[in-house]
Every structure is written in structure tokens, then in C-alpha cells.
């Protein structure tokens, strides 16, 4: 039994020696193979490209002028009265718009003029293909269109967020300085009762343009 055990140990050593020898031989072979791939031919070419981002920019006309009467206050409004204000909206960037929205907010403190969606102030927006003809004395302006009138926003409560505007020329052809001649009309409904007397609200108008759909450039 003792000899059998020794014989097993000797065989293990012998096998281990063979494995180590094989590894050493493989290492030599790998070194020789590496010598055969030391050199190679190469070639490089290059190019450069300039990328310039476009600009999306929307602007109102100068405040206080016929191109922007939105800052002119209205006083002494009673049920059935209308308030007309002109504003020119222009695409002054170098890209077409994907769309334009209008958000209106009431400055604090709010009143029923803006919080009552039924009997409070209502607003509508129209566009004229040529600048509106302005008449009246500030602040009681009125406007007529000698060209073609289109609806941009049908009558709705004056307060809203991201309300989509339609039929705008400024959405396309920015390089041609396309502009929209808008008339914003606010109306106090005849249904407004005595609880509206003496109330005051300030409404902020914000026009937002979004970029056109992405495409290959």
C-alpha cells in the first residue's frame, strides 16, 4: 500500500512537469509569432465640418406704439364693452416655427374679472393681412382691416395656458421677416352682475414659439 501511494505521487510530479514544459513551449511560440507581426502599413485622411445652431425668436412690436398697444390700460369698463388692442408678432429668428401659443396670467390680486370663466373677461384674437387701421383716442382704440381678416383664436375666457394660435404667417419664412398683425379683443359679458363693479385686474400676455420639426441638415 505504501508503494502504491508513492507511485501515485511520482506520477503527479511527472505530469506537472509535462504541463509546465508545454506552457514554456507555448510561450516561446507566441514570442516567435509576435516577431512576425511587428510592422504594418498605415494611412490617415481627415476632414472638418462646421455646425451652426439655428435661432428661434419671436418678438412683439415696440410697446406703446401702433405695433403693440397691449400695455395701454382700459378704464370704466361695463358689461358689454369691448377692449381692442393691436400687436405685431414677428419671427425674427432664422428658423420656421413649429407653432405659437398664448399664455395669459392675472397679476395678484386676482378678481372675478379674470377668475370667473363665464361672466368674466373673454378674449379673441384676429389677424389682418395688412396692418390694422387704427382709430379712436387712447385708450378707446378701434381697428378695421382693409385686407383679409382671419381668426387666430376664437372667443374664450381670457386666462389660459399654452393656448394654440392658428393661421399665423410668422410661423414660416423667417428670412422674409414674416409678421402677424394681430387684434386682441377683450369683452366683459353682458351677464356680469353688480359683483363686478369697481374690480381691477391686470392681465399679462406671453407668446411662445416652438421650433419646427427636426429634419436632416
Residue 24 has pLDDT above 70, yes or no: no
Please determine, for residue 173, whether its predicted confidence score (pLDDT) is greater than 70. Answer: no
For residue 162, name the pLDDT band (cuts at 50, 70, 90): very high
pLDDT band at 98 (very low <50, low <70, confident <90, very high): very high
Three-class HEC string of 36-78? CCCCCCCCCCCCCCCCCCCCCCEEECCCCCCCECCCCCCCCCC
Of 89, 82, 174, nearest in space to 127 by CA: 89
Beta bridge partners of 153: 125
pLDDT for the residue 11? 36
Residue appearing with cell numbers 414659439 = 209
Predicted local distance difference test score (pLDDT) of residue 217: 87
What are residue 113's DSSP bridge partners? Answer: none
In the predicted structure, residue 19 carries a pLDDT above the cut 70: no
The pLDDT assigned to 71 comes to 94
pLDDT band at 175 (very low <50, low <70, confident <90, very high): low
User: Distance (Å, rounded) from C-alpha 126 to C-alpha 209?
Assistant: 18
Cα angle at 163 between 139 and 186, to 5 degrees? 20
**Does the pLDDT value for residue 21 go beyond 60?**
no
pLDDT of residue 17: 38
Quote the CA–CA distance of 109 and 152 in Å, as a whole number.
Answer: 29
Q: Tell me, letter by letter, the H, E, C secondary structure of the chain.
A: CHHHHHHHHHHHHHHHHHHHHHHHHHHHHHHHHHHCCCCCCCCCCCCCCCCCCCCCCEEECCCCCCCECCCCCCCCCCCCCEEEEEEEEEECCCCCEEEEEEEEEECCCCCHHHHCCCCCCEEEEEEECCCCEEECCCCCCEEECCCCEEEEEEEEECCEEEEEECCCHHHCCHHHCCEEEEEEEEECCCCCCHHHCCCCCCEEEEEEEEECCCCCC
pLDDT at 37: 53
Rounded CA-CA distance 204/107 in Å is 7
The yes-or-no verdict on residue 149 having pLDDT over 70 is: yes
pLDDT in tens, 126-144: 999 999 999 999 999 999 9
For residue 25, pLDDT beyond 60: no
- On the question of pLDDT at 33 being above 60, the answer is no
More confident of the two residues 88 and 55: 88
Amino acid at each position: 500500500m505504501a508503494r502504491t501511494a508513492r507511485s501515485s505521487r511520482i506520477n503527479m510530479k511527472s505530469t506537472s512537469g509535462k504541463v509546465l514544459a508545454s506552457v514554456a513551449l507555448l510561450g516561446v511560440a507566441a514570442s516567435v509569432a509576435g516577431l512576425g507581426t511587428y510592422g504594418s502599413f498605415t494611412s490617415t485622411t481627415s476632414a472638418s465640418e462646421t455646425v451652426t445652431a439655428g435661432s428661434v425668436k419671436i418678438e412683439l412690436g415696440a410697446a406703446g406704439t401702433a405695433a403693440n398697444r397691449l400695455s395701454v390700460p382700459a378704464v370704466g369698463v361695463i358689461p358689454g364693452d369691448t377692449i381692442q388692442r393691436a400687436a405685431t408678432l414677428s419671427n425674427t429668428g432664422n428658423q420656421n416655427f413649429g407653432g405659437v401659443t398664448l399664455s395669459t396670467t392675472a397679476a395678484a390680486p386676482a378678481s372675478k374679472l379674470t377668475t370667473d370663466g363665464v361672466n368674466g373677461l373673454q378674449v379673441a384674437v384676429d389677424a389682418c393681412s395688412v396692418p390694422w387701421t387704427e382709430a379712436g383716442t387712447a385708450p378707446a382704440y378701434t381697428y378695421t382691416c382693409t385686407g383679409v381678416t382671419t381668426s387666430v383664436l376664437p372667443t374664450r375666457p381670457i386666462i389660459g395656458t399654452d393656448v394654440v394660435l392658428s393661421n399665423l404667417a410668422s410661423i414660416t419664412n423667417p428670412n422674409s421677416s414674416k409678421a402677424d398683425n394681430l387684434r386682441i379683443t377683450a369683452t366683459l359679458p353682458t351677464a356680469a352682475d353688480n359683483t363686478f363693479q369697481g374690480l381691477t385686474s391686470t392681465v399679462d400676455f406671453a407668446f411662445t414659439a416652438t421650433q419646427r420639426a427636426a429634419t436632416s441638415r
